[in-house]
């Protein structure tokens, strides 16, 4: 689709376009047939061609990075993605909404309804009123509300990989909500573009470790959603791990069953929730593989019932940068703009 053909399409901006989530947004939006990429912002790279920062984008993206300026964004765009570290978006979002823009924020700033939970996990919130208005952007689950929203808090990558398999069985009342354990593994791009001593190649290559054990900020995010779904207290132990790959996330979730439910019933329940031709693919009792979802919007889910121990084991695989961040954000944009859900997200997966 040429730039000319796109002239009358909705205009989108990416704030924080040079980060890993932002660059992934640019990649997806550049190939989106129903919107035009209007404006990219950066703090460190103002005036620099995006394709000079990410050479893969040469002849694909012609934009230069601009400085963040709400006036320019309001002039150039209809909808804004914010891909900045948490704390910054809450400073920018009120002014963008006041200018009539729709906003999808990829940080944690608008994921919580409970201000105290956000404050405990992150920091003071400077616009708590907006937390009541913002819609949690778990696309398959909250599509109706997302479609009417002007502000979406895009979910974290771990929460997406844990909530999509769990919510349908929680709604059925099949799992004991006091016994949830989620064991997740993430590729290193989940930590963003700036290397730290723990994400440096020499510390990650040929290594595999847990981190922030039972102390990760995504735990309260997941719990808040599950409590809302279940209407009662939920106890979830969440242990994330870092694995030596660039993109990809796998979560294995364990829960005691509250009644004798077999694998086929759980598989049917997931199929009823997600359909057979959407972005959540049910793999039966085959463990899903991050390789099969790499670079795509898919979330693959496998189910095993361990009868001897009365345990339900759910396994999910996503690409942390796509379904876990930029892809789900574009899925939410499609809902907000009334576009077909797969628009811009239909690239076939790599077979290997
Ligand atoms: N990576 C993932 O898998 C993932 C998954 C889900 C959600 N997210 C969320 O997406 C957001 C971005 O994450 P990321 O992984 O893309 O991080 P990142 O690679 O570190 O990118 C951060 C971006 O924010 C900009 N930035 C940083 N500090 C800034 C400041 N003080 N003022 C203005 N701009 C600033 C950077 O701009 P310049 O360097 O150009 O100046 C860069 O474009 C985070 O909120 C993260 O939680 C990420």
Q: What is the pLDDT of residues 228-244, one digit of tens each?
A: 999 999 999 999 999 99
Q: What is the rounded distance in angstroms from the CA atom of residue 251 to the CA atom of residue 165?
A: 9
Atom 26 in ligand 1: which residue has the minimum CA distance? 84
- For residue 89, which atom of ligand 1 is closest to its CA? 45
Q: Which of 90, 17, 74 is nearest to 50 (CA)?
A: 17
> Could you report the per-residue pLDDT of 240-294, keeping only the tens digit for each?
999 999 999 999 999 999 999 999 999 999 999 999 999 999 999 999 999 999 9
Question: Ligand 1: distance of its center to the CA of 348 in Å?
Answer: 27
- Whether 157 is catalytic is yes
233 alpha carbon – ligand 1 mean position (Å): 33
Q: Report the distance separating Cα 271 and Cα 265, nearest Å.
A: 10
Say what percent of the chain tops pLDDT 70.
99
Two structure tokens written together for 160: 């997406």
What lies within 8 Å, CB to CB, of 180 at 6+ separation is 166, 226, 234, 235, 236, 237, 253, 254, 255
Pocket of ligand 1 (CB under 6 A): 16, 18-22, 42-45, 83-86, 88, 106-107, 156-157, 189-190, 192-194, 320-321, 324-325
Q: Alpha-carbon distance 352 to 350, whole Å?
A: 5
Q: In this structure, are residues 341 and 297 in contact, taking their beta carbons and an 8 Å threshold?
A: no
Identify which of 17, 21, 52 to mutate to test ligand 1's pocket (most ligand atoms within 8 A of the CB): 21
| Distance from residue 250's CA to the centre of ligand 1 (Å) | 22
Nearest CA to ligand 1 atom 15: 192
Mutate to test the pocket of ligand 1, among 42, 82, 83 (most ligand atoms within 8 A of CB): 83
**Euclidean distance between CA atoms 98 and 160, whole angstroms:** 29
Classify 13 in phi/psi space as left (phi over 0), alpha (psi -120 to 50) or beta: beta
What pairing do the DSSP bridges indicate for beta strands 65-66 and 36-41?
Answer: parallel
Residue 1, pLDDT score = 54
Ligand 1, atom 34, lies closest to the CA of: 43
pTM of the model: 0.97
- Residue 210 Cα to ligand 1 middle (Å): 23
CA 194 to ligand 1: nearest atom: 20
Are residues 12 and 333 in contact, defined by beta-carbon separation less than 8 angstroms?
yes
Tell whether the model's pLDDT for residue 2 goes beyond 80: no
Calpha distance 320→282 (Å, rounded): 18
CA angle 27, 29, 34 (to 5 degrees): 150
Whose tokens are 């859900």? That residue is 341
**Which member of 39, 65, 157, 269 is catalytic?**
157
**Concatenated DSSP letters for 36-51?**
EEEEEE-SS-TT-BHH
pLDDT of residue 5: 75
C-alpha 20 to ligand 1 mean position (Å): 7
Ligand 1 centroid to residue 225 C-alpha, Å: 24
Hey, whose CA ends up nearest to atom 14 of ligand 1? 192
Q: Using a CB cutoff of 8 Å and minimum separation of 24, what contacts does 270-278 make?
A: 270/165, 270/168, 270/301, 270/303, 272/168, 273/140, 273/167, 273/168, 274/140, 274/164, 274/168, 278/140, 278/341
Q: For residue 131, how far is its CA from the centre of ligand 1 (angstroms)?
A: 21
Q: At CA 137, angle to CA 87 and CA 98, rounded to 5?
A: 55
Note the pLDDT of residue 6. 84
Dump the DSSP string for 178-216.
TSEEEEEEE-GGGG-SS--TTTSHHHHTT--EE-STTT-
- Phi, psi at 237, each rounded to 5°: -95, 125
Give the position, in ligand 1's atom list, of the atom nearest the Cα of 65.
40
CA dist 90 and 76 (Å) reads 21
Ligand 1 atom closest to the Cα of residue 45 is: 40
Q: What's the token pair of residue 255?
A: 């829960």
Both structure tokens of 139: 């696309």
The predicted-structure confidence for 9-57, as pLDDT tens digits, reads as follows 999 999 999 999 999 999 999 999 999 999 999 999 999 999 999 999 9
Task: Write down the pLDDT at residue 71.
Answer: 97
For residue 313, how far is the Cα from the chain centroid?
22
DSSP 328: H
Using the atom order of ligand 1, give the atom closest to the CA of residue 193.
19
Angle at 122 between CA 185 and CA 164, to 5 degrees: 40
Starting at the edge strand that comes first in sequence, how are the strands of the sheet with 135-136 ordered? 65-66, 36-41, 11-15, 79-82, 102-105, 151-153, 135-136
Q: Closest Cα to residue 314, out of 300, 293, 324, 325?
A: 300
């Amino acid at each position: 689709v040429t730039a000319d053909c796109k002239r009358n399409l909705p205009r989108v901006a990416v704030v924080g376009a040079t980060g890993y989530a932002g660059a992934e947004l640019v990649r997806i939006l550049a190939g989106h047939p129903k919107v035009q990429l209007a404006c990219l912002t950066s703090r460190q790279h103002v005036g620099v061609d995006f394709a000079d920062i990410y050479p893969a984008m040469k002849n694909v993206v012609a934009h230069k990075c601009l400085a963040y300026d709400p006036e320019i964004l309001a002039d150039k765009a209809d909808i804004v993605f914010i891909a900045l570290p948490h704390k910054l978006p809450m400073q920018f979002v009120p002014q963008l909404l006041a200018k009539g823009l729709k906003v999808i924020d990829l940080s944690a700033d608008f994921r919580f309804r409970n201000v105290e939970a956000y404050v405990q996990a992150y920091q003071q919130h400077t616009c708590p009123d907006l937390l009541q208005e913002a819609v949690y952007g778990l696309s398959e689950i909250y599509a109706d509300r997302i479609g009417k929203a002007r502000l979406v808090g895009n979910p974290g990558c771990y929460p997406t990989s844990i909530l999509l398999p769990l919510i349908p069985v929680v709604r059925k009342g099949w799992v004991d909500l006091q016994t949830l354990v989620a064991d997740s593994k993430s590729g290193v791009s989940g930590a963003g573009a700036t290397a730290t001593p723990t994400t440096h190649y020499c510390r990650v290559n040929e290594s595999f470790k847990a981190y922030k054990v039972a102390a990760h900020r995504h735990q309260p995010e997941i719990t808040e959603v599950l409590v809302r779904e279940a209407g009662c207290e939920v106890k979830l132990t969440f242990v994330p791990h870092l694995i030596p790959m660039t993109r990809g996330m796998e979560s294995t979730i364990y829960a005691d069953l509250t009644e004798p439910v077999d694998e086929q019933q759980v598989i049917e329940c997931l199929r009823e929730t997600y359909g057979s031709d959407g972005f959540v693919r049910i793999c039966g009792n085959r463990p899903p593989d991050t390789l099969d979802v790499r670079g795509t919007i898919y979330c693959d889910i496998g189910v095993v019932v361990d009868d001897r121990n009365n345990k339900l084991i759910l396994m999910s695989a996503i690409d942390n940068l796509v379904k876990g961040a930029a892809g789900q954000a574009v899925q939410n944009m499609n809902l907000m703009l009334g576009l077909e859900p797969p628009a811009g997200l239909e690239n076939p997966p790599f077979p290997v």
